[in-house]
Chains A and B, each alone.
Chain A
Amino acid sequence: QVQLQESGPGLVKPSGTLSLTCAVSGGSISSSNWWSWIRQPPGKGLEWIGEIYHSGSTNYNPSLKSRVTISVDKSKNQFSLKLSSVTAADTAVYYCARISAITVTTIDPWGQGTLVTVSS
């Protein structure tokens, strides 16, 4: 079955850019699904960041839209997140996940998550 794995730096400096990649295995990123990033600050709830289709179409959380870029690399079967101008408030566990294009809030499976800390 499809599995997702996040990778990237665990520490980012304030005002810098957070960059993460999600590798998709067991299935094609060109399938009829959206590919999403979701984050969870320590001890807090889930926040949807955005999603991308294999065609390159994207949807972003309006509150983060000005700082977020999600891209897809079909040749490597992976997609990526860039979040600019980060502050301590962006410290969180970042998850990548698959979202059904048909039942648009069916988020499954999820990656294991990766903790990103924003600190100097």
Chain B
Amino acid sequence: QSALTQPRSVSGSPGQSVTISCTGTSSDVGGYNYVSWYQQHPGKAPKLMIYDVSKRPSGVPDRFSGSKSGNTASLTISGLQAEDEADYYCCSYAGSYVVFGGGTKLTVL
């Protein structure tokens, strides 16, 4: 199985919106509504930001939103803040196992 495809990097200025894509296949992203997103700051464990494609755990700002169309899921961060600068990983169920994306580095300019 292959990792899901994410852009290596994205950037935006404070207050702007950015979208990170996550492309898989009909065997993972496209086949199930089980896509989640994780934020990871340097030296820290990943933190759950979105689950079940578009649901936010309690405590995650509503600036973070998720969606899916076909084999591609997306994470949108609106009203960018300096503390959003981090690596972001998507994750999908693939039928008895789990696959991650390669990760996207978000830079807040």
Contact = CB atoms under 8 A, between A and B. Distances in A.
Binding partners A and B:
yes
B70 interface: no
B103 A107 contact: no
A99 B46 CA distance: 13
B52 A103 contact: yes
Given A59-B97, A105-B91, A110 B46 contact: yes
Interface residues of A, number: 25
A119 to B, nearest CB: 21
Contacts, number: 67
Given A104-B34, A105-B51, A106-B52, A45 B97 contact: no
Contact of A104 (B45, B46, B98): B98
Contacts of B64: none
B64 to A, nearest CB: 15
Interface of A: 36, 45-48, 50-51, 59-63, 95, 99-100, 103-108, 110-113
